[in-house]
Structure 1
Amino acid sequence: MKPVRRPSATALGAAQAARRPAPILSAPPLDYTYDGSFEGLLTVLFTIYDWRAAPNSIQLEATAQGGLFTQATHRATDEIQAARVWEGLLKTMDAEARTRLYHVFLSEVSDRELLIFRYVDLALRSPLDIAENYANADVRRVQRLAQQMYREKHRMEAFVRFEKTTDGLFHSTIEPDFDVLPLIAAHFTKRYADQRWLIYDRRRRYGLYYDLTRTDVVHFEQDAGPKTAAVSATVLDEREPLFRLLWQAYFDHVNIPERKNLKLHRRHMPLRYWKYLSEKQPRETRFVPIANKRGPAAEG
């Protein structure tokens, strides 16, 4: 990954001096609801500063809980307003810091909306770049969540295992801690550009489908069958059991029993991913080491 070039303090200070000061949120606070999309949240941020009304809460419309004497205000997603906010953030922070906000949104933590608002509001009112202001609790938390998302993204890129179906589709099921599908789409589109594939997130019931020309997001109305990692044998290619056996044999033969370290192994490959890994499935045949070492007598 190419390093992100940070703007100099002089350049960032000039950009902050040129922007208009953030409006004072003097109106009574409101409870906002949105449709759950990132663009919807950006629309809410636009509304907060347009109406000068700070948020008491920002909730999903489908699960919103209203107050005893107040009713939540729903904001429909406005692509134009969302784009203005997204581009306007570059006046107060660099591209890397702005990306962290998207990662926080994908982390699905319960208070992600208010955390993003507080971070943005702090950036709007600070004369200096806040990206490394780790004395602030919100900045530290945004940085920590972004790091967790980065680790989960790379784990998914490493741990995805495809199974081929009878119609030539390569299918994989995952269940990550965070919503990382939007972050891994480019990696798999580039790496597997010559085959049709589907990566399905069982926990969130949607997936990525690549049809040899483009990658689309596909949604599933309901989860079919029990919560298992296995695909029905009736839809798998007849050679898939052989592929799994070959993969398991390769994994076993490159293993060095004398250097086994299960604690380190589980740290790099957490146990929660094992049910989706071919090499961790029960062996159909007993492992027999390859006799590839010849003694002095045999060499003579």
Structure 2
Amino acid sequence: MNTHSQRSFDDGSPLLAHAIRQLRELDSSSNVALTCEPSVEGVVSSVGLTYLARLPPSRVRLVRETGCQARLGEVIVQGLNPSWDETVVLARRVLVGFEQKQNREAVRRLVLACASDDPRMPETVHRFMRAGFSRSTLLVEDPADEVCHALNALARQVDNEREHMRQFVRFSRMADGSFMSVFRPNANVLPLTTGYFVQRLGNERFLIVDPLHHIATFYTPKQKRFGTVKLDQSGIDKLVARSDLADNEASIQALWQCFYERVGLPGRDASQRGYDLRTHWMPQRFWSELTELAVNVHEKTAPGVTRCRRITS
């Protein structure tokens, strides 16, 4: 980031100017543990803040704001609030500068990595961006680089979780005519993947709830894009506990379960070969939300639907 960018941010935003001054006034012998929300805006804006405060990478470490533990000789400083407009503007400016210095693929992997639940993620992204800004060569084309390798590992894990979400989200028709799903990913991939469901269900209203990350995304055909909201525990509990299904939804779920059982191959229980393949390609942590495998669906049959039986010879 150049001097002009530093001056424009210092002069134009009292909030940023205060944060920058707070960091600059620290004793030069102190190391800094800069806390940030584990999101693109939170992490990238914190990286920009370290540049604006002229902190060398050897003196600063980015940490998640929850579960922060300072090391000996470190001073904990709170990062920028990602809901501030100034924070979003700063993050966008930093990403644009990083793409100009590196390339779009580097930014894509960086954005994926920021969705990781790994507690080391903020510092991994920080080191990756610092290295990218300081190099004239493309960092993503150097897989032997330790910093690049660490970020790529996070990006791959998040990308795999995005694929799991595309495969294993199951919607239920609710009484109000909308569709709803509950999904528990091991990364904050809901905002990165909902666009896929907008393309598939563009004429429908739907809601996807992620209880692990306390967020939900929603879409209506009148919207140009989906919306994402952060919820407290009580709000999440109310959504997950919804039972106002459409009148024929239980019958449709029972029919889907029958179809799944009839097209399946025998020998897939826990004591037989094939069960390990199922658990590999369809991880057990998703089974409770899968219509075809959920216990509550297996134990009941909707009114008017005959329970199917496997025909064996």
Checking the alignment, whether the CA contact within 8 Å between 1:66 and 1:72 is kept in structure 2 is yes
- Residue 168 of structure 1: how far off its partner (Å): 1.2
Paired with 1:219 and 1:84, the residues of 2 have a C-alpha distance of 24
What is the match of residue 113 of structure 1? 122
Distance change (3 Å), C-alpha of 1:144 and 1:108: same
Residue type of the partner of 1:51? A
Q: For 2:227, which of 194, 216, 241 is the aligned residue?
A: 216
- Residues 261-300 of structure 1 aligned to structure 2 (within 5 Å): 261-282=274-295, 283=298, 284=300, 286-289=307-310
Q: For 1:74, which of 54, 75, 78 is the aligned residue?
A: 78
What is the match of residue 248 of structure 1? 257
Q: For 1:56, which of 56, 60, 77 is the aligned residue?
A: 60
CA RMSD in angstroms, aligned pairs only: 3.0
What is the match of residue 169 of structure 1? 178
Distance change (3 Å), C-alpha of 1:80 and 1:224: closer
| Higher Cα radius of gyration | 1
Query: SS of the counterpart of 2:207?
Result: strand
- Residue 110 of structure 1: how far off its partner (Å): 0.6
- Residues 172-211 of structure 1 aligned to structure 2 (within 5 Å): 172-211=181-220
Checking the alignment, whether the CA contact within 8 Å between 1:202 and 1:223 is kept in structure 2 is no
Paired with 2:96 and 2:235, the residues of 1 have a C-alpha distance of 40
Paired with 1:81 and 1:185, the residues of 2 have a C-alpha distance of 25
Distance change (3 Å), C-alpha of 1:123 and 1:287: same
Residue type of the partner of 1:264? L
Residue type of the partner of 2:77? T
Paired with 1:37 and 1:147, the residues of 2 have a C-alpha distance of 17
213-222 or 112-121, which deviates more: 213-222
Checking the alignment, whether the CA contact within 8 Å between 2:39 and 2:114 is kept in structure 1 is no
Query: SS of the counterpart of 1:72?
Result: strand
Paired with 1:231 and 1:219, the residues of 2 have a C-alpha distance of 17
TM-score of the pair, normalised by structure 1: 0.78
Paired with 1:177 and 1:60, the residues of 2 have a C-alpha distance of 16
- Map Cα deviations across residues 84-143 of structure 1 (whole Å, 9 max, x no partner): 211001122221121111111100211211111111111222232121322222211211
121-130 or 99-108, which deviates more: 121-130
185-194 or 45-54, which deviates more: 45-54
45-54 or 207-216, which deviates more: 45-54
Residue type of the partner of 1:73? V
Paired with 2:221 and 2:200, the residues of 1 have a C-alpha distance of 12
What is the match of residue 42 of structure 1? 44
Checking the alignment, whether the CA contact within 8 Å between 2:39 and 2:115 is kept in structure 1 is no
Paired with 2:199 and 2:155, the residues of 1 have a C-alpha distance of 23
- Percent identity, aligned pairs only, is 25
Is 2:150 the counterpart of 1:133? Answer: no
- Residue 206 of structure 1: how far off its partner (Å): 1.2
Paired residues, what number? 266
Distance change (3 Å), C-alpha of 1:150 and 1:37: closer
Checking the alignment, whether the CA contact within 8 Å between 1:205 and 1:223 is kept in structure 2 is no
Paired with 2:88 and 2:234, the residues of 1 have a C-alpha distance of 31
Paired with 2:219 and 2:236, the residues of 1 have a C-alpha distance of 24
Distance change (3 Å), C-alpha of 1:225 and 1:38: closer
- Residues 12-51 of structure 1 aligned to structure 2 (within 5 Å): 29-51=31-53
- Residue 162 of structure 1: how far off its partner (Å): 0.9
What is the match of residue 94 of structure 2? 85
Structure 1 runs not aligned, ≥5 long: 1-18, 21-26, 294-300
Paired with 1:189 and 1:232, the residues of 2 have a C-alpha distance of 22
- Residue 60 of structure 1: how far off its partner (Å): 4.3
Query: SS of the counterpart of 1:57?
Result: strand
Distance change (3 Å), C-alpha of 1:60 and 1:192: same
TM-score of the pair, normalised by structure 2: 0.75
Checking the alignment, whether the CA contact within 8 Å between 2:113 and 2:121 is kept in structure 1 is yes
Query: SS of the counterpart of 1:195?
Result: coil
Query: SS of the counterpart of 1:131?
Result: helix
